Amino acid sequence: MDTQEIFEIEQVDDVVIVTVCSEIGNFSCADAMSELDTEVAQRHASASLSAVLVDFSNVDYFGSMMLETLRHIWMTVRDSGGKLAICGCNPVCHEVFELSHFTSIWSIYETQEEALANLKGE
Amino acid sequence: MRILVVDDSVMDRKIAGGLLSNHADWEVHYAVNGKEALDQMELHMPDLVVTDLQMPEMDGLQLVQHIRENYPLIPVVLMTAQGSEEIAVQALQQGAASYVPKKRLARDLAEIAERVLTASGQERTSMRLMNRMRKNEIEFVLENDLSLVHSVVGFLQEAVSRVRLCSEADQLRLGVALEEALVNAFYHGNLEVSSSLREEDHREYYELAQRRSKEEPYKDRRIHVSAYISPMQAVYKIRDEGPGFDPHNLPDPIDPANLDRPCGRGVLLMRTFMDDVQFNPAGNEVTLTKRRVDDKDHTGEAEQAED
């Protein structure tokens, strides 16, 4: 599966919004996850990002590989004060973030609108 | 067959009911909104609900949501008017079986009702059959191929849904746990790619996996998947042909000091989402067990299918 089929990437000012477009099993999109990581790193290198927002509204569940990709993206932006935020989680996706304790370092919002309002207000 | 027609418009109720009453075996009942429909369903269970979308008290979308949650085997057909397309899409996403535009009721309603009733009857029979299944034993030997291992998770989730061992949310959790076990078998077991490499270089981790999947001895290794599924529990064994690992050596993934390291999250998810997780002494086989939990979420279907 191509990266474009799995992730839709747009940028609003200095916030990159990644919408996960399709089911993101651990296996079907290892390459896409790696490419997403690279894409965010390139955007951050050309103009420092204040945040990366990842929208999971279209996703039933995901596992450690997605967590790993997010962790890596977070490490890319955090060195210059950037943040990682999440939105659109169903209860199972939310549970995965809580179990892995990433909720202590990443903000979780209901919707993109709420997330963007908070990220821009900070 | 008992059909419940729900519409606040007297005229539309009469039109829909009249069209359906032409069928000799169909008995038509009426409700003026979603709330009244649910009250009637408490007393007499219909085989099919045909509903308008825009109604006072409880609209068609809310009715579909309620029926999906509480009477999942009862199909719902929507009657859509101009201007209700958006809410109709939502209702179909929520599980409505089909829809008929109101201007085409005369031509299409009876035919669609018949088709939906036939499909629902087949589903009900299939569920009755599954209620009588005692065990299902499944075994796969898979090449180390990403598309195959992804498919096997879907297949195993489907097998569990047939015996209604757990709720839909638990089936998703089961999917997470199985994927994690297969990820371990694929990357760390058969390809022997270490998480520590991912810590150093994320891209190199995947590139090494790709290279090794074409090299000896990694490329010939297989993943062995077996499942024993009964109405009381599902037991999965996932074995790779790598050298194995010691799960006790994994760093604690919930230690704050390890949040910025790739460590043990897959095993954590497995342990949390399954009732029991055991590794063999060699560390190349994991046994995951999910036991039946009786709760309201998924026993409703079984009760209906027993009828």
The per-residue pLDDT of chain A, averaged, comes to: 84
Query: What long-range pairs does B91-97 form, CB within 8 A, spacing at least 24?
Result: B91/B53, B91/B60, B91/B61, B91/B64, B94/B61, B94/B64, B94/B65, B94/B68, B95/B64, B95/B67, B95/B68, B96/B64
B42 has pLDDT over 50:
yes
Six-digit token string for B84: 């209700």
The answer to whether the CB atoms of A64 and B269 lie below 8 A apart is yes
User: pLDDT tens digit string along B273-292?
Assistant: 999 999 999 999 999 999 99
Q: Are residues B122 and B175 in the same domain?
A: no
Q: What is the mean pLDDT of residues B25-29?
A: 95
Neighboring chain A residues of B254 at a CB cutoff of 8 Å: 99-101
Distance of CA A53 to the CA centre of its chain: 5
Question: Residues B273, B172: contact at Cβ < 8 Å?
Answer: no
- Provide the CATH number for the domain around residue B26: 3.40.50.2300
User: pLDDT tens digit string along B134-150?
Assistant: 899 999 999 988 878 87
Provide CB contacts within 8 A for A12, sequence distance 6+. Answer: A116
The answer to whether the CB atoms of A63 and B173 lie below 8 A apart is no
According to the model, what pLDDT value does residue A24 have? 60
Q: Are residues B44 and B102 in the same domain?
A: yes
Tell me whether residue B100 is exposed, middle or buried, using C-beta atoms within 10 angstroms of its C-beta: 0 to 12, 13 to 18, 19 or more: buried
Q: Are residues B182 and B276 in the same domain?
A: yes
B34 has pLDDT over 60:
yes
For chain A, how many structural domains are there in total?
Answer: 1
What ranges in chain B are assigned the alpha helix state H?
10-21, 34-43, 60-70, 85-93, 105-131, 146-163, 168-183, 195-200, 202-212, 265-273, 296-306
What residue in A sits closest to B257 (Cα-Cα)? A101
What residue in A sits closest to B185 (Cα-Cα)? A27
Q: Are residues B113 and B212 in the same domain?
A: no
- Asked, for residue B276, whether it belongs to a domain, the answer is yes
Residue-range definition of the domain harbouring residue B66: 2-131
Q: Are residues B101 and B181 in the same domain?
A: no
Q: Are residues B181 and B286 in the same domain?
A: yes
Q: Are residues B284 and B141 in the same domain?
A: yes
Q: Are residues B173 and B119 in the same domain?
A: no
- Asked, for residue B234, whether it belongs to a domain, the answer is yes
The H or E element spanning position A104 is none
- Asked, for residue B108, whether it belongs to a domain, the answer is yes
Which of A44, A57, A58 lies closest to A15 in space, CA to CA? A44
In A27-86, the residues whose Cβ lies within 8 Å of chain B are 27-28, 30-31, 34, 37-38, 60-65, 67-69, 71-72, 74-75
Question: Residues B179, B169: contact at Cβ < 8 Å?
Answer: no
Residue-range definition of the domain harbouring residue A31: 3-121
pLDDT level of residue B297 (50, 70, 90 thresholds): very low
Cis, bond preceding B256 (omega within 30 deg of 0):
no
Q: Are residues B216 and B259 in the same domain?
A: yes
For chain B, how many structural domains are there in total?
Answer: 2
Q: Are residues B120 and B167 in the same domain?
A: no
Which residue has 């919004």 as its token pair? A17
The answer to whether the CB atoms of A101 and B254 lie below 8 A apart is yes
User: pLDDT tens digit string along A24-56?
Assistant: 655 556 677 777 888 888 888 888 889 999 999
Neighboring chain A residues of B173 at a CB cutoff of 8 Å: 61, 92, 95
Asked if the interface predicted TM-score (ipTM) of this complex is over 0.90, the answer is no
- Provide the CATH number for the domain around residue A15: 3.30.750.24
- Three-state DSSP at A50 gives coil
